């Protein structure tokens, strides 16, 4: 009898983990679709991480709630998306200086790449903390501080973004569901910083 109970408990844990994994993949698809206008990525990511938090808390939530969150997050989040694209443009100019062989170009390029990575980590961290009615500016300020104060969490997010890029480089459609894994990582990084 005890063996049967242990087997059922183990099977339940495996099914719960598989359900969470499949929810992450689904959220990745939702984030990708909501981010198609490109500048809405922070809002889509915020809605995705909020959906995962609801799922982990056992609350009801589906596509309708995700869409409502994405619309609410986009009210201020589109400016963050524009800032990401502007930072990408500055990085492109830095890398153009490297390719042109300008003096100091490699140093400027390296600083630009590191700054862009740090900025993206801060945006992902801010999006993972978003709640309806929250302003993006204070979220980004706190996320910037957390990016520096929590290097392990920042490294986890950098590795997650690298997996998305590599997946997209190998098989482009694979990057879509893998984005949900980054949302799960951002949710976990956020949970680590919360007071217990």
What values do phi and psi take at 57, rounded to 5?
Answer: -85, 0
Q: Locate the DSSP E strands across the chain.
A: none
- Mean per-residue pLDDT for 29-56? 92
- Confidence at 31, pLDDT banded by 50, 70, 90: very high
Query: CA-CA distance, 55 to 188, in Å (whole number)?
Result: 13
- Confidence at 13, pLDDT banded by 50, 70, 90: confident
Query: CA-CA distance, 171 to 153, in Å (whole number)?
Result: 27
43 pLDDT higher than 90 = yes
196 pLDDT higher than 70 = no
User: Which tops the pLDDT comparison, 49 or 18?
Assistant: 49
Residue 159 · residue 181 · CB < 8 Å: no
Per residue in 146-163, pLDDT (tens digit) is 999 999 999 999 999 999
What percent of the chain has pLDDT above 90? 60
User: Which tops the pLDDT comparison, 103 or 9?
Assistant: 103
Tokens of 122: 């801060």
Angle between helices 41-56 and 63-100 (to 10 degrees): 130
Residue 5 confidence (pLDDT): 65
For the chain, give the mean pLDDT: 89
41 pLDDT higher than 90 = yes
What values do phi and psi take at 37, rounded to 5?
Answer: -70, 0
Q: How many CB atoms lie within 10 A of CB 18?
A: 10
């Amino acid at each position: 009898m005890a063996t049967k109970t242990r087997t059922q408990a183990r099977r339940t844990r495996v099914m719960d983990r598989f359900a969470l994994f499949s929810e992450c993949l689904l959220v990745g698809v939702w984030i990708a679709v909501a981010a198609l206008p490109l500048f809405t990525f922070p809002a889509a990511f915020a809605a995705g991480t909020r959906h995962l938090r609801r799922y982990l808390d056992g609350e009801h939530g589906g596509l309708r709630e995700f869409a409502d969150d994405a619309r609410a997050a986009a009210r201020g989040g589109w400016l963050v998306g524009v800032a990401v694209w502007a930072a990408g443009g500055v990085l492109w100019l830095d890398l153009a200086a490297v390719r042109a062989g300008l003096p100091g170009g490699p140093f400027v390029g390296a600083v630009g790449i590191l700054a862009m990575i740090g900025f993206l980590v801060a945006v992902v961290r801010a999006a993972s903390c978003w709640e309806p009615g929250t302003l993006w500016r204070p979220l980004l300020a706190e996320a910037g501080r957390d990016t520096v104060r929590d290097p392990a969490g920042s490294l986890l997010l950098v590795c997650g973004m690298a997996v998305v890029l590599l997946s997209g480089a190998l098989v482009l459609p694979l990057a879509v569901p893998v984005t949900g894994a980054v949302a799960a990582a951002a949710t976990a990084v956020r949970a680590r910083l919360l007071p217990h």
